[in-house]
Structure 1
C-alpha cells in the first residue's frame, strides 16, 4: 500500500469518504461511553449495593439462585457474569461480520439491546437487586459485543499512519460525552430535592438517561459507516458455538506475536477495567465519600482523559505506542499504591488520585487499540477484534472476581484494591517482551514509522 491509498481506493474522493466515516465512527464512542461512566463507574455500583443490602439477611448476605453472596460483592460478581456471557457471543458476532460484511446491522442490534437494558434501570427500586443484576449483565455484555464491531472498523477507515490519532480521537469523543452527561447528572443529583425527587429517583433517572443517550447518538455512526464487500470465497454461514471460537483461535496460532500482545493486553487491561468499575464502590464504602464527591471525581477523570488521550497520542508519535503504554502501566501501579493508603473522608486526595487516573486512562486504552490494529491480518478485522474485545471487556472477569473475593474474605476494600497491582506488574512484563515491529510484519501489514 503506497502513500495516499486506502483499502478501498485512492485519490481525493476516497480520502473524503474515509474522513466522513472517521467522523461518524467517533460518535459511537460518544454514544456508548456514557454507559461506562454514568452507569458502571458512578451510580450503579453504590445503588445496586444499597438495594442488595436492603434485601440482605441478618448476616449481610443475599441469596440469588440460592447462592449466598455478600451484598457488597454482588456488583463485581454481576460484572464478571456479564463478561462470561460476552465471551460466548463475541466470536460468533465477529465471524458473522467478517463473512457477511454486514457490520452495521449487528452493531445496531447490540447497541440498542444494551441501550434498552440501561434505560430499563429506571425501574430499579425496593429490593429488586436481581433485576438490577440482570439488566447489568445484558447491558454490559451488549456493550462488549458492539465494541467488537466498532473497533473492527478502525483498520478499514484509517491508514496505518493515522490509526494512533484516529483511535485517540475516538476515546476523546467518548470522554467528552461522559463529562457532558456527568455535569447534567451532578446538577440533577445534587439538587434532586429542588426538582421534587427523592435521591433514589434521581439516581434512576441518571441511569436511564445513559440508555437514552446511547440509543440516540448511535444513529450518527449508523448513518455514516458503510459495510464492505467480503473477499470472494469468504461468504458462508457462521460456525456455531464453540466451533467458531476454536476456529478463530486456531487461525490466530498462525500469528503467535499477535497472540503474545493479546495476552499482555488481557492482563493489564483487566486491571484497568476493574479500577474503573470498582472506583465508586471503593470511594463510597471504604473512604466514606458522598455521591456528589464521587460524581465530581469521575467528571475530573473524564475531562483529563480527553487531554490524556490526545497527549499520549502525541507521545506515541515520538516514542512509539509500546513505550508509551509501558510508561502508563508504571503510573497505574503507583495510582493503586496511593489508593491503598488514601485516608478516609479526604475528598481532596481522592480528587488527586482521579486526576492521575484521567491522565493515563484514555491514552493507554486508545494506544492499545491502535497498536493491535497493526497486528490484524487483512480480512480478519471483526474476527480478530472479537478476540481483542474479549481481552478488553470480554475476559476482564478475573479482576472483578479477585476484587469481590478479596472483599468477601477480608471485608476490606483496601485489601481488594491493592490486589489489583499484580495485573499491571505482570502486564508490563508481558508487553515488554513483545517484538511489535516483527509482529506487524508477520501479520502482513505495512510498518509505520513509530510503533
Structure 2
C-alpha cells in the first residue's frame, strides 16, 4: 500500500472520528435538560404538591399500602431510582461490551427515559403514584444511558484529545440546560398570558424536557458507530448477566490504580452532587432568599458551567487533567468556605457564590470523565463506565446524610454546608496519591504527554 493511500485512509478515519464526536456532544445536549429542568427545578416541588393533595388527614400517602409522608415521597422515589440503576448498569454494561452493540442499548435507555419524562404531562390531581413510577423509570434510564454514552469516549477520541472532547460535551449539556430553562421560566412566570394555569405550565415544562431528550437523541444514534467485540469478549457472550457482573468486579481488582481513582472520584463527586442539591435549601432556609432568586442562581450556574468546562479543558492541555482537577477541588473548598460567611438576605453575594460553583462545576466533572477513560482496559469500556456511574449514583447518599446529620446536631445550615469541605479535602488527598501515568500504562493504554 503506497504512502498516499495510507494518508488518505488516515484522513478518512480522522474525519469519521470528528463526525462521531460532534454526534456524541449532542447526547449531552439532549439529556441535560432532564437534569436541569425536571430534577433540579420543577419535579420535586410539583410531585410533592401532588402527593400532598392525595394525602390523608395525617399527611400520609400509602403507595403499595406503606405509610409515607407526602413530603418524603419525592426523596424516596429518587432513592428507589438509584437502587434500580445500580442493579441495571453493570448488567447492561457487560451486555454492551460482550455484543459490541452499545448503540441499540443507548437508544433503548434514552427513549425509555424520554417517554417517561414526556408522560409527566399527565401528572396532575392526586396521581402521585404515577409520578413516582415515571420518576423511577426516567432516572434509572438516564443513568443507564449516560453510562453507555460515556463509554464511547475512549473509542471516539485519541488520548491527547479526550480532555477537550469531554469538556465540549459537558459544555453542550449546560448550554442546552440554560436555553431550555430560560424558555421554561418565561412560560412559568407568564403562564396567565398564555392562557395556562400554573399547574399546566409546570406539566408542559416537564413534558417538553422529554420531547427535547427524545428529539436530539436522534443525532448521536445516527452518527455513533458500534465496534465489534474483540474475540475474548465475544466468547463470553453466553455468560449470564450476574456471572458477568461478578467477573467485572474481579477484573477491576486486577487494576488497583484504576480503583484508587474511582475511590477518589466517589468522595469528591459526592461533595459536588451534594452542593448542587442542597444549595437551594441553604439559600432559602439559612439566607432567606426567595424562589425567583434561587432559580436565577441555577441559571447562572448553567451558563457559567459552559465557560468553565471549556476553560478547564484548555488548562488540562497545559497542566494535565489530574493537576487541573486538583486545582478545581481547591476552588470548591474556597467556594464552600465563602458560602459559610455569606450574609442573609443578600442575593448579590449568593449570585457570586453561584458564579464560583458554575465555573468549576462543568470542568471538574468533564475532566474526571476523560481522565477515567484513560484508565479503562481496551474492550471493557461499558463495564468500567458502569462502575464509574455506580460510584456517582450508588453512593450519592453520603453527602446528603452528612449534611442532614450536621444540621440535626448543630441546628445550623452554615455548619452543614461547611461540613462538605471534608469531601473535597479527602478527595484531593486520595487523587493526589494516584500515579496516573502508571495507572494508564497498567490499563494497557498509551500514556498521553499531558495527563
Normalization by structure 2: what TM-score?
0.90
2:93 and 2:386 in contact (8 A); partners too = yes
RMSD: 2.6
Q: Partner residue of 2:166?
A: 167
Alignment of 1:5-16 (within 5 A): 11-16=10-15
- Tell me how far apart the structure 2 counterparts of residues 44 and 64 of structure 1 sit (CA, whole Å): 18
Aligned: 1:298 with 2:294: no
- Tell me how far apart the structure 2 counterparts of residues 214 and 288 of structure 1 sit (CA, whole Å): 34
1:79 and 1:400 in contact (8 A); partners too = no
What is the deviation of 1:237? Answer: 3.2
Aligned: 1:190 with 2:170: no
- Tell me how far apart the structure 1 counterparts of residues 391 and 293 of structure 2 sit (CA, whole Å): 31
Aligned: 1:138 with 2:152: no
What is the deviation of 1:411? Answer: 7.7
What is the deviation of 1:400? Answer: 4.0
SS in 1 for 2:231: coil
Q: Partner residue of 1:46?
A: 45
1:60 and 1:70 in contact (8 A); partners too = yes
> Which moves more between the two structures, 59-68 or 241-250?
59-68
- Tell me how far apart the structure 2 counterparts of residues 262 and 209 of structure 1 sit (CA, whole Å): 35
> Which moves more between the two structures, 229-238 or 284-293?
284-293
SS in 2 for 1:234: helix
What is the deviation of 1:43? Answer: 1.5
- Tell me how far apart the structure 1 counterparts of residues 9 and 148 of structure 2 sit (CA, whole Å): 25
Q: Partner residue of 2:30?
A: 31
- Tell me how far apart the structure 2 counterparts of residues 123 and 342 of structure 1 sit (CA, whole Å): 41
1:92 and 1:241 in contact (8 A); partners too = yes
CA distances 1:105-160 after superposition (whole Å, capped 9, x unpaired)? 00001001111111122222334433333322211111110011101111101000
Q: Partner residue of 1:309?
A: 309
What is the deviation of 1:419? Answer: 4.3
Aligned: 1:266 with 2:266: yes
Q: Partner residue of 2:146?
A: 147
SS in 2 for 1:266: helix
Alignment of 1:397-408 (within 5 A): 397-403=397-403
1:73 and 1:408 in contact (8 A); partners too = no
Alignment of 1:315-330 (within 5 A): 315-330=315-330
> Which moves more between the two structures, 136-145 or 72-81?
72-81
- Tell me how far apart the structure 1 counterparts of residues 123 and 284 of structure 2 sit (CA, whole Å): 20
- Tell me how far apart the structure 1 counterparts of residues 395 and 71 of structure 2 sit (CA, whole Å): 22
Q: Partner residue of 1:18?
A: 17
What is the deviation of 1:38? Answer: 0.7
Q: Partner residue of 2:3?
A: none
Provide the aligned length of Structure 1 versus Structure 2: 444
What is the deviation of 1:374? Answer: 0.6
Q: Partner residue of 1:108?
A: 107
Normalization by structure 1: what TM-score?
0.90
What is the deviation of 1:36? Answer: 0.9
Cα distance change of structure 1 residues 126 and 415 upon mapping to structure 2, 3 Å threshold: farther
CA distances 1:304-343 after superposition (whole Å, capped 9, x unpaired)? 1111001111111222111111121122233334444544
What is the deviation of 1:163? Answer: 0.4
Rg (Cα) greater in structure? 2
Cα distance change of structure 1 residues 430 and 53 upon mapping to structure 2, 3 Å threshold: farther
Q: Could you list the runs of 5+ residues in structure 1 that have no partner in the other structure?
A: 1-5
- Tell me how far apart the structure 2 counterparts of residues 137 and 408 of structure 1 sit (CA, whole Å): 28
Cα distance change of structure 1 residues 340 and 293 upon mapping to structure 2, 3 Å threshold: same
- Tell me how far apart the structure 2 counterparts of residues 53 and 417 of structure 1 sit (CA, whole Å): 29
1:403 and 1:416 in contact (8 A); partners too = yes
Q: Partner residue of 1:3?
A: none
Q: Partner residue of 2:231?
A: 232
- Tell me how far apart the structure 2 counterparts of residues 408 and 51 of structure 1 sit (CA, whole Å): 28
- Tell me how far apart the structure 1 counterparts of residues 58 and 399 of structure 2 sit (CA, whole Å): 26
2:233 and 2:379 in contact (8 A); partners too = no
Aligned: 1:371 with 2:360: no
- Tell me how far apart the structure 1 counterparts of residues 176 and 233 of structure 2 sit (CA, whole Å): 38
Cα distance change of structure 1 residues 397 and 112 upon mapping to structure 2, 3 Å threshold: farther
Cα distance change of structure 1 residues 194 and 397 upon mapping to structure 2, 3 Å threshold: same
What is the deviation of 1:57? Answer: 6.1
What is the deviation of 1:193? Answer: 1.5
SS in 1 for 2:209: helix
Q: Partner residue of 1:221?
A: 220
Q: Partner residue of 1:277?
A: 277
Q: Partner residue of 2:119?
A: 120
Q: Could you list the runs of 5+ residues in structure 2 that have no partner in the other structure?
A: 1-5
